[in-house]
Structure 1
Amino acid sequence: MKAPQSPANPCEQALAAWCVRWDFQAQTSAPVAVAFSAGADSTALLLASHARWPGRVTALHVHHGLQAAADDFESHATAFCALHGIALKVERVQAGHATGESPEDVARQARYAALARMGQEMEAACVLLGQHADDQAETVLLALSRGAGMPGLSAMAERFERHGTVFGRPLLALSSAALRAWLTQAGHAFVDDPSNADQRFTRNRIRAVLMPAWDACFPGFRPMLARSAAHAAQAQRLLDELAVMDVARVGTPPDIRAMQSLSRDRQANVLRHWLRTQANVAASTAQLDELLDQVAACTTRGHRIHLKVAHGFVTRGGSRLQFTPPI
């Protein structure tokens, strides 16, 4: 009589499909890193990666130092990797936030910086992240609640670069329920972060209140939101292509008179692209509207432009706009 087979890890098929889409098969010998929080999603992804690339995978664990349970997460990650013969790297960061800063944003920035450092140290071809369909849906809802434009509505990309490191998200089509069901059935332990239940954080409120309501009204809504995010991402890529063509026309930094020859919508697209690529800042809707008005009114040599955008100022320098960061 045959022994019952273990259920198939749904992450393995998702990971294989991601590798095909992004031509990751070419990376035949480089190590692969997996961000491993010890939670359910990263545990399932780590096991799938280890099965696909045995001996080439390293788990990267970031200890944020923000809660007492962080030591337990690290202990679990260490024991889990030792049990499965997976290499583990740990980096401790101080992710405390200053007054006026979002604790979620600060912790996320510290985490990505640490993952990039560890990935570069081991010369990893890619750092894989365990965000799934629920995370993607929450990101879209969060963007909608903030009145975000195309970049925000595009939600999370399957592949992106940050801090000089390639990151991948192979699980965006898989639900949290599917991952947890497999882990439970297969007998793999994972930890639950108690801070995920703290509804002082916006994303947690979306998860606890909005997501169940959407599920009740629109069962199976997650793939639909993911599809909308994919459409928004495609539209943003086209806007970026148009911006590159228009930047070739108006120059960098933008020539004011050349800008005035474009439609207001194309001017807005150029300004967003210029500010993002040259200064790594984004103007608010109100700031961008005021800047467009200033550009339209700039018809005399002595016209002055001086407008706060993000943490700096857009000013007029001769015939062109310029961005001046704070001193």
Structure 2
Amino acid sequence: MARWSVRWQPLFSGPIAVAYSAGPDSTALLLAAHERWPGQVIALHVHHGLQVAADDFESRGRVVCERLGIPFSSNRVQAVHEAGQSPEDAARQKRYRALASMAQEVGAACVLLGQHADDQAETLMLALSRGAGLPGLAAMAERFERHSVMFGRPLLGLPSRVLREWLQTHGHVFVDDPSNTDQRYTRNRIRALLLPAWEACFPGFRPMLARSARHAAQAQSLLDDLARIDMVQTGAPPAIQGLQALSRERQANVLRHWLRSSFGAAASTVQLDELLDQVADCTTRGHRIRIKVASGFVTREGECLVFVSPDNTPPI
């Protein structure tokens, strides 16, 4: 199990944090990290308060860590979703923020996450079902930064079955989250219905889907490079005339990159098409632009486009 960790070693110059829910995936990751870096690992637990069993997850995780001599830190969050936001997205965003905060408090060099090959396949299938672009089809990155903290997913090459078999073979205990079988959630339906069907039709399909995700990530990286080149001409925030000098496809690429990299906002296809139409029609000083994008608005301010978040007042 610990063989995955060798190429992660250069990242670490301090404590190594593991996002530990007490479930099978994070338990396998915690044990493997503890074996590879004894005395350096810290367990970070996020209590979402979304179900009665959450208290049991926290207490059982604490007991495991006490037995192993691993420091255990817990943070309770209120993962209530806002209007138009899915419960899963709300919980995920609160979880990352809580993990980053705890990691910074303990001076951790990186937070390791227990997502595995099945999670990667589910993420790609979910993106396909939503008609996602390259960022969605790239699925989950092996390494990424969020809230000024480095996160890593060292188990992406291992199926869930391998992790569970390893735990059971060595007699390690873990808890199963009952919400993982609730088919009201799309990801759970994919896990229960689609993954077995793919396995029956295409045995060993997980590495193939992972390869497709890597190809999408590479293609998106090239588009990001092109966007940075074009933004030398358009500026940031982008000047309307600078955008108009580009093809519509390159305008779209610049706007996607600007919104994503500067504000973490992703425009839908309909929103982006409407915004591109407005940019094309913007030939007079009096032309107003105000397009809903994600949770804010893209508006015209002088000769440039600006993004206004819900916390700010849109320009008049």
**Superposition TM-score, scaled by structure 2 size:** 0.94
Is 1:176 aligned to residue 160 of structure 2?
Answer: yes
In structure 2, C-alpha distance between the alignment counterparts of 1:71 and 1:146, rounded to whole Å:
34
CA–CA separation in structure 1 for the residues paired with 2:113 and 2:221: 23
1:240 and 2:240 equivalent? no
Q: Give the gaps of 5 or more residues in structure 2.
A: none
- Structure 2 Cα separation of the partners of residues 303 and 118 of structure 1: 47
Cα displacement (A) at 1:180: 0.5
CA separation in 2, counterparts of 1:49 and 1:229? 26
Matched residue type, 1:36 = Y
Question: Which residue of 2 is the match for residue 222 of structure 1?
Answer: 206
Query: Does 1:58 find its partner at 2:18?
Result: no
- Identity across aligned pairs (percent)? 68
Pairing 1:20-31 to 2, within 5 Å after superposition: 23-24=10-11, 27-28=12-13, 30-31=14-15
Of residues 158, 162, 175 in structure 2, which corresponds to 1:191? 175
* Distance in 2 between residues matched to 1:118 and 1:148, nearest whole Å: 32
**Please, which runs of 5 or more residues in structure 1 have no aligned partner?**
1-9
Q: Which amino acid aligns with 2:137?
A: L
- Between the aligned partners of 1:104 and 1:136, the Cα distance in structure 2 is 16
- The yes-or-no answer on 1:253 pairing with 2:253 is no
Give deviations 1:43-97, integer Å, cap 9, x for gaps. 1111111111111111111111111111111121111112222111111222123
SS in 2 for 1:61: strand
CA distance, structure 2, for counterparts of residue 325 and residue 86 of structure 1: 41
TM-score in terms of structure 1 length: 0.91
CA displacement at 1:163 relative to structure 2 = 1.2
Q: Give CA deviations for 1:235-279 in whole Å, capped at 9, x if unaligned.
A: 111111111110001112212222111111111000111122333
Alignment match of 2:17 (pick from 33, 42, 50): 33
Aligned length: 311
Match of 1:47 among 27, 31, 56: 31
- Cα distance, 1:99 vs structure 2: 4.4
Match of 1:14 among 4, 7, 10: 4
Secondary structure at 2:33's aligned position in 1? helix
**Is residue 15–residue 171 contact of structure 1 (8 Å, CA) maintained in 2?**
no
Partner secondary structure for residue 38 of structure 2: coil
* 8 Å Cα contact 1:139-1:156 kept in structure 2: yes
Equivalent residue number for residue 314 of structure 1: 298
Cα deviation digits, residues 20-43 of structure 1 (max 9, x gap): 6xx32xx34x11110111111111
More divergent stretch after superposition (100-109 vs 160-169): 100-109
Change (3 A) 1:247 1:59: same
- Aligned residues: CA RMSD: 1.4
